[in-house]
């Protein structure tokens, strides 16, 4: 892979689809090392910075939190280590996603029931309003 020219923060943002304030946040959070600066104080990112930011962006798209990303980056920086820890982090996230899906499916069923039971008449007989006012509702 041929080396690319150093990128300003604006060009890095355009190349990765990550907004400039988010790039700065990742630097402050320690996920992205602060790059060298020019004499005029402009940040200049190299290929490693571009790849690291792309990694962070992809991990965020998959829903990993910042602590998990920090751990995954640490592992990525040590390629000779076993991937067991990376797999454990991914499995833990998968369990959380599966639980969230279970909760969303239950929510979908409840909303479907609410809207299906609505006769479209007066609010006084509206099932949507009735269910929302029911403190014993399992999703309350």
What is the domain-level CATH number for residue 48?
A: 1.10.1660.10
In order along the chain (140 residues), what is the average pLDDT of each group of 10 residues? Answer: 76 96 96 91 93 97 96 94 95 97 93 78 74 66
Tell me, yes or no, whether 131 lies in a domain: no
Q: Write down the pTM of the prediction.
A: 0.78
> CA distances (Å), 30 to each of 16, 21, 53, 57, 89, in order?
18, 14, 12, 15, 19
Distance CA 66, CA 19 (A): 17
Domain count, the chain: 1
- The residue range of the domain holding 21 is 1-66
Q: Contact 31/68 with Cβ under 8 angstroms?
A: no
Tell me, yes or no, whether 130 lies in a domain: no
DSSP state string for 19-39: -HHHHHHHHHTTSSPPPPB-T
Tell me, yes or no, whether 125 lies in a domain: no
């Amino acid at each position: 892979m041929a080396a690319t020219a150093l990128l300003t923060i604006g060009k890095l943002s355009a190349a990765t689809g990550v907004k400039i304030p988010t790039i700065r946040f990742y630097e402050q959070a320690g996920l992205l090392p602060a790059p060298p600066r020019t004499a005029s104080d402009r940040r200049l990112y190299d290929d490693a910075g571009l790849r690291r930011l792309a990694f962070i962006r992809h991990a965020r798209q998959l829903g990993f939190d910042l602590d998990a990303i920090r751990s995954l980056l640490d592992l990525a920086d040590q390629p000779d280590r076993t991937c067991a820890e990376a797999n454990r982090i991914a499995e833990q996230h998968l369990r959380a996603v599966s639980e969230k899906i279970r909760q969303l499916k239950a929510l979908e069923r409840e909303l479907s029931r609410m809207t299906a039971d609505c006769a479209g008449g007066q609010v006084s007989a509206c099932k949507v309003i009735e269910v929302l006012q029911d403190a014993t509702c399992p999703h309350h």
